[in-house]
Amino acid sequence: DTGVSQDPRHKITKRGQNVTFRCDPISEHNRLYWYRQTLGQGPEFLTYFQNEAQLEKSRLLSDRFSAERPKGSFSTLEIQRTEQGDSAMYLCASSLRQLKETQYFGPGTRLLVL
């Protein structure tokens, strides 16, 4: 599969624990996006990377959230001190330099905070 991949696909954690998700974009895609999707809603933008630079963060991204893309390839999203309200599907998407508006999504990581 040469599409966007995410790991893990599912994560169950207890409130207060830290979790980290990984996203591997399509090869040669220099732009990478993180979204959050809750039940019955469309994806909501969290943050965006161009190569290794994090260029924009949504107000949805509280101080407990941090994202990195150290070598401009894969990215990680960490949530510290998880809360029940963090339960959601976390989606990653990537796009090409030449077609920057066309975003391709990964399968997502479904997080459940107990």
Partner 1 sequence: GENVEQHPSTLSVQEGDSAVIKCTYSDSASNYFPWYKQELGKRPQLIIDIRSNVGEKKDQRIAVTLNKTAKHFSLHITETQPEDSAVYFCAAGSQDSGGSNYKLTFGKGTLLTVNP
> What residues line the site for partner 1 (CB under 8 A)?
3-4, 31, 40-45, 48, 50, 55-56, 91, 95, 100-108
| 49 vs 65 by CB, closer to partner 1 | 49
| Cα 102–chain centre separation | 17
Half-sphere exposure of 28 (CA within 13 A, CB side): 5
Q: Which is nearer to partner 1, 14 or 101 (CB)?
A: 101
- Are 11 and 110 spatial neighbours (Cβ–Cβ below 8 Å)? yes
Query: Smallest gap, in angstroms, from Cβ of residue 12 to partner 1?
Result: 16
C-beta closer to partner 1: residue 42 or 85: 42
Q: How far is the CB of 48 from partner 1 (least distance, A)?
A: 5
